[in-house]
Chains A and B, each alone.
Chain A
Amino acid sequence: MSFWIPIVLLSPLIAGLLALALPNKFALRPAVGLVGSLTLLIGAIGLFSETADGSIAVYHFGAWPPPFAISYAADTLSALMVLVSAIVSLGTAIFAFSDADKGASSRGYHGFVHIMVFGVCAAFLTADLFHLFVAFEVLLIASFALVVLDGKRDQYEGGFKYVALNLFASLMFLSGIGLLYGMLGSLNLADLAQLAAASDEPAKLSLAGALLCAAFSIKAGLFPLYFWLPASYHVPSSTVSAIFAGLLTKVGVYALFRVIPLIFAADWSYFQAWLLPVANFTMVLGVFGAVTQKNLRRLLSFHIISQIGYIILGLALFTPLALAGAVLYLIHNIIVKTNLFFIAGYIESLRGTGNLKYLGGLYKERPGLALLFLLSALSLGGLPPLSGFWAKYMIVRACLEAGAPISAAVALFTGFFTLFCMMKVWTEIFWKNPPESAPAATAAAAAAAAGATGAIGTEHVATPVVPVMPKGRVFAAVSTIVVFNLIALGIGFFPEPLIALAEQAAGQLIDPSDYIRQVLGTMP
């Protein structure tokens, strides 16, 4: 029984509930959020150090014997994901201070964010299929509230698509759980893995597996089910969309990694036949969608989709090297993607718009920011020696070793286009001459920009005058961006420890017998 698991789960939950209950005075809510994120980070580091040697931490809530207890288990992959989520959560809590919109706090921003982080951590740690569903619902309902928090027209429209598609996916997930329980009579993941391995009808199980796989694919934003993502990720405030970009789709990806190989290993070729083409299409179509976009955060949302394709490609190949590459990609992508959304949010606060048409010439004012953006952009494109390079290299090499040269070609092609697209964006924001005459801003847009919220990227109006950001807010934004860039650079220059961990996680995914033994508490 690991005592780090309850700390990781309870600190965001308590912080979230407290932030909702406390009065919105004396910066109480941001303070609670900050303390909650810090305790989460401490718990995540503790959990990580406990599982770094390849052991598996288990916690049974209510102390019932498994498989009747609601079990939580952390292997290397779970612990890594929780650690990165904690870093993103703390980063967002600090970056939130740069947001000028004081109303968000009164509408419960801090509470919802931490309840969402609780759902994310519970999904990463649970070893129970039904509890995974509950965790998904917790993070969904909190994220629904965050999408429409400012009550603007765009948010309702984007939120509608987000809510409709994700609820549909949840119902598919629930149906899959029902069928699986009817066939095997258990919900504990480890117990299910054993029962499924002993089942004489793996094809019948795959029916339920297909439902689960489709549900997770919608949540992960895979082709052809990704259209809700670029329609909704740019509508909330920049802080919210940064944490969405970093964590939410990755929960769907994690669920695919955890559930499908564990339970449906007997019929893997069936799933591989689907996942491989889907991964290729996701990579290409995501990046093609991004090239034509004008809104900065919407463009980055398309890149999220494209990057998810790489990770799923690693899962579909299912070799040790491919899985290790995918895990490394997952970690790198969460850090870099969140950081790019932070930078996009900061640029929107500086200029009052996220529309590339009205941006330009920022290099003269902020050469440092240009460098920070460039580093993240090159890392996303996969230039050596930045963090994206190692993950891409491992996945492409795994493709060639596994005899999938087409996927390798697609991955390289997508990497080239990602680089092209990010360079285009960098030039538009920093190098291009600023537009001569900004279009006449309507009174409403001017009023919105006077608050310098810059929250709604789809308002295609630039206002000539944007108030200067106060020093404190600039510091909050820049310090977060710098720290995230340093983490990404650290992964890039010293990848060995992380690659070793990723290989260990891949080994545990390929041979889950230790996970099963530890969760069920049976002696070898």
Chain B
Amino acid sequence: MTVLLSIATGFLFATGLYMMLRRSITKMLLGLLLLANAANLLIFVAANPVKGQSPLVAEGAQALEQSAANPLPQALILTAIVIGFGVLAFAVVLFSRVYLHTGSDDSDQLTGTES
């Protein structure tokens, strides 16, 4: 499972970076979305997830068992997803406004502030 997730993470990073390098701002936006998911998945994989060991303290015990899954990465990812959602929603609106005001989807044409 970890191997599969690692490959998926790498694939998401590769496609995200490729899309970020495109000139079309719509495709750059898709690249950002893919990279956001890639980063979240990376946190999950890097924290070495274990299957089927819920982090619940057994009745009568004082602490978690050593083999229990670590819930913190999921809390981090949840926070990152929420932040990413808000920021990317802003980016979607901004990029569409850029298109509406400049009439161009090509980032090479956006040179109005470069001189």
Write the residues of chain A forming the contact surface with B, with a CB cutoff of 8 angstroms: 130, 133-134, 137, 140-141, 144-145, 148, 151, 153-154, 156-161, 163-164, 167-168, 170-171, 174-175, 177-179, 181-183, 185, 187, 231-232, 234-235, 294-295, 458
> Which of B86, B88, B98 is close to A160, meaning CB atoms less than 8 Å apart?
B98
The CA of A164 and the CA of B29, in the complex, are separated in Å by 8
> Which of B38, B48, B87, B102 is close to A137, meaning CB atoms less than 8 Å apart?
B87
Q: Is B14 an interface residue (CB 8 A)?
A: no
Question: A182's closest neighbor in chain B, by CB?
Answer: B46
| Contact (Cβ within 8 A) A178 B112 | no
| Contact (Cβ within 8 A) A235 B113 | yes
The CA of A144 and the CA of B88, in the complex, are separated in Å by 11
| Contact (Cβ within 8 A) A163 B42 | no
Chain B residues with CB under 8 A of A177: 43, 76
Question: A294's closest neighbor in chain B, by CB?
Answer: B115
A231 and B28 in contact, given A171-B35, A181-B47 (Cβ under 8 angstroms): no
| Contact (Cβ within 8 A) B94 A159 | yes
| Contact (Cβ within 8 A) B102 A179 | no
| Contact (Cβ within 8 A) B113 A234 | yes
The CA of A477 and the CA of B94, in the complex, are separated in Å by 32
A148 and B42 in contact, given A137-B87, A153-B101, A181-B73 (Cβ under 8 angstroms): no
The CA of A137 and the CA of B86, in the complex, are separated in Å by 10
Name the residue in B36, B73, B88, B115 with the highest tally of chain A Cβ atoms < 10 Å from its Cβ. B115
Question: B95's closest neighbor in chain A, by CB?
Answer: A160
Chain B residues with CB under 8 A of A183: 46
A–B complex contacts, Cβ < 8 Å, 10 sampled: A141-B86, A156-B97, A157-B98, A160-B107, A171-B35, A174-B39, A178-B42, A178-B46, A179-B42, A231-B114
The CA of A148 and the CA of B95, in the complex, are separated in Å by 12
Cβ distance A191 to chain B, nearest Cβ, rounded Å: 13
| Contact (Cβ within 8 A) B112 A154 | yes
Instruction: Count contacts on B: residues with CB < 8 A to the other chain.
Output: 40
Q: Is the interface of B mostly helix, strand, loop or mixed?
A: helix
> Which of B47, B73, B94, B114 is close to A163, meaning CB atoms less than 8 Å apart?
B94
| Contact (Cβ within 8 A) A153 B32 | no
Chain B residues with CB under 8 A of A234: 113
Cβ distance A51 to chain B, nearest Cβ, rounded Å: 29
Chain A residues with CB under 8 A of B20: 168
The CA of A232 and the CA of B25, in the complex, are separated in Å by 17
Chain A residues with CB under 8 A of B83: 134, 137
Cβ distance B111 to chain A, nearest Cβ, rounded Å: 8
The CA of A391 and the CA of B60, in the complex, are separated in Å by 62
The CA of A143 and the CA of B110, in the complex, are separated in Å by 21
| Contact (Cβ within 8 A) A158 B113 | yes
A to B contact number (C-beta, < 8 Å): 107
The CA of A133 and the CA of B110, in the complex, are separated in Å by 30
The CA of A177 and the CA of B44, in the complex, are separated in Å by 11
| Contact (Cβ within 8 A) A164 B112 | no
| Contact (Cβ within 8 A) A171 B39 | yes
| Contact (Cβ within 8 A) B86 A232 | no
A148 and B94 in contact, given A153-B102, A157-B113 (Cβ under 8 angstroms): yes
Cβ distance B84 to chain A, nearest Cβ, rounded Å: 8
Q: Is B80 an interface residue (CB 8 A)?
A: yes
The CA of A231 and the CA of B111, in the complex, are separated in Å by 9
Chain A residues with CB under 8 A of B88: 167
| Contact (Cβ within 8 A) A141 B90 | yes
Q: Is B24 an interface residue (CB 8 A)?
A: no
| Contact (Cβ within 8 A) A163 B90 | yes
Question: A144's closest neighbor in chain B, by CB?
Answer: B90
Chain A residues with CB under 8 A of B45: 182
Q: Is B79 an interface residue (CB 8 A)?
A: yes
Question: A131's closest neighbor in chain B, by CB?
Answer: B79
Question: B31's closest neighbor in chain A, by CB?
Answer: A168
| Contact (Cβ within 8 A) B112 A153 | yes
Q: Is B91 an interface residue (CB 8 A)?
A: yes
| Contact (Cβ within 8 A) A174 B43 | yes
Chain A residues with CB under 8 A of B110: 157, 160-161
B31-57 Cβ-contact flags toward A at 8 Å (1 or 0): 010011011101111111000000000
| Contact (Cβ within 8 A) B112 A157 | yes
Known pairs A156-B94, A181-B43, A182-B48. 6 more at Cβ < 8 A?
A: A145-B90, A154-B112, A160-B95, A167-B32, A178-B39, A181-B76
Q: Top 8 nearest A-B pairs by Cβ distance?
A: A182-B46, A178-B43, A158-B113, A174-B39, A153-B101, A178-B42, A175-B39, A156-B98
Chain A residues with CB under 8 A of B35: 168, 171
The CA of A177 and the CA of B77, in the complex, are separated in Å by 11
The CA of A295 and the CA of B112, in the complex, are separated in Å by 13
Chain A residues with CB under 8 A of B32: 164, 167-168, 171
Chain A residues with CB under 8 A of B44: 178
The CA of A295 and the CA of B113, in the complex, are separated in Å by 10
> Which of B42, B73, B86, B102 is close to A175, meaning CB atoms less than 8 Å apart?
B42
The CA of A376 and the CA of B51, in the complex, are separated in Å by 62
Cβ distance B49 to chain A, nearest Cβ, rounded Å: 10
Chain B residues with CB under 8 A of A163: 90-91, 94
The CA of A175 and the CA of B47, in the complex, are separated in Å by 12
